[in-house]
Structure 1
Amino acid sequence: MRKLIYGINISLDGCCDHTKFSGGDDIQDYFRKLLEEADLIIYGRKTYELMVPFWPEAAKTQHMNEAANSFAKVFTNLKRIVVSRSIDHLDDDQTTLIHDNLREEILKLKQKPGKSISTGGVELPAQLIEWGLIDEFHMVVHPTIVGQGRRLFSEMSLQENLGLKLVASETLSSGCMALRYERI
């Protein structure tokens, strides 16, 4: 069965608002390597609209630094799924829409052959966590306290605690900690 991997940046106080962080090449490289282990990305509408068309355009123009350009190339070559009830059509041949039966569709995708499936954002992953569908958690913890902004998992409701096991940690050159957890 394919793994469903969740990756996100957070501050020490749990903020996951991407506008609160200054990214470095090491962070870009970390997430590029994570995406190299996948062949499919699943996003909700908000995260999808942050990522597309920005990264596909960056892959074409190669106008960013080496780390960002490399991330853009990897991202652009992946198949994508966007989960949305408000989008009816996409002009993106790399992306498929899921409107309904999300849990069943994700379970079908996990059964198909291939590399890992990646997801990011907040609302969609929270739902996938509630259903027990996330297999790995990749948290890049930034050495900052922002004091305000959207908090990770603040709207999630679990029936019971979700046990995780730390399987890898890495201190990035920026001072961020990359933590990899698996479900127990």
Structure 2
Amino acid sequence: MGKLIFAINITLDGCCDHTKGIGDEEIHEYFTNLLGEVDVLVYGRKTYELMVPFWPDIARNNSGTNETMNAFARAFDAVGKIVVFSRSLQQADDGKTKIVGTDLREEILKLKQEEGKDILLGGVDLPSQLMQMDLIDEYRFVVQPLIVGEGRRLLEGISLEGLKLKLVSSKVFKSGCMALHYVK
């Protein structure tokens, strides 16, 4: 049974807007290593459209700005299956993406029962729903040493009363970013 792992970059003030923050070599390396632990990616439509075709194109063309970016793109592209929860997206252009418009809870429980590695969850809206359903097993936050004062916030408008996490590891990067790994 695979664990559902939620991973995200976030600033000190809770901003998780992909246009804000640091995207350096250490962060790409951290997330490349995390991709090696999973064989399923789970996204909502918005996150999926940010990730695909951007990362597969970089993997195909080796066109990142440095080798760690290219390595991340290759690791992303190597993940066997992408599950996208969407009511508006009808089809995907690749053979490994499955669009799901049915019951979120049931589909995640099915994915967790499949043989294989863990499942990596990204985005904001979908993870917020899954947090409220208590289906996320691990949390990986890369906290960036920035206060941006604007942009989309993680956990905005949701109640998670009683969610208690245990810190199992942390790592400080040269940039001042800190990777925090929590379990329920």
User: What code does the residue aligned with 2:99 have?
Assistant: L
State the secondary structure of the residue aligned to 2:94: coil
TM-score (ref. length: structure 2): 0.97
Q: Deviations over 1:19-46 (max 9, x none)?
A: 1113100000101111110000000000
Q: What is the aligned partner in structure 1 of residue 14 from structure 2? A: 14
Letter of the 2:175 partner, please give it: S
RMSD: 0.8
Question: Is 1:71 the equivalent of 2:62?
Answer: no
Deviations 1:120-148 (A, max 9, x none): 11000001111111000000000111111
Paired letter, 2:67? E
- 1:84-107 deviations in Å (ceiling 9; x for gaps): 000111111110011111110110
- Consecutive aligned runs of 4 or more in structure 1 exceeding 4 Å deviation: none
Aligned residue runs from structure 1 range 109-124, under 5 A: 109-124=111-126
Partner of 1:170: 171
Give the paired residue count: 182
Identity %: 57
Distance 1:100 1:157 in 2: 24
Taking the aligned partners of 2:54 and 2:85, their CA distance within structure 1 comes to 18
Cα deviation for residue 63 of structure 1 reads 1.2
Alpha-carbon deviation of 1:18?
A: 1.4
Instruction: Tell me if structure 1 keeps the 8 A contact 2:5–2:137.
Output: yes
Gaps of 5+ in 1: none
Structure 1 segment 27-66 matched on structure 2, within 5 A: 27-64=27-64, 65-66=66-67
Q: Which ranges in structure 2 are unaligned for 5 or more consecutive residues?
A: none
Matched letter for residue 27 of structure 1: I
**Aligned-partner SS, 1:20:** coil
The one-letter code matched in structure 2 to 1:57 is D
Query: Which amino acid letter does the alignment assign opposite residue 36 of structure 2?
Result: E
Deviation of 1:7 after TM superposition, in Å, equals 0.4
Q: Quick one: which amino acid aligns to residue 182 of structure 2?
A: Y
In 1, Cα distance between equivalents of 2:97 and 2:158: 27
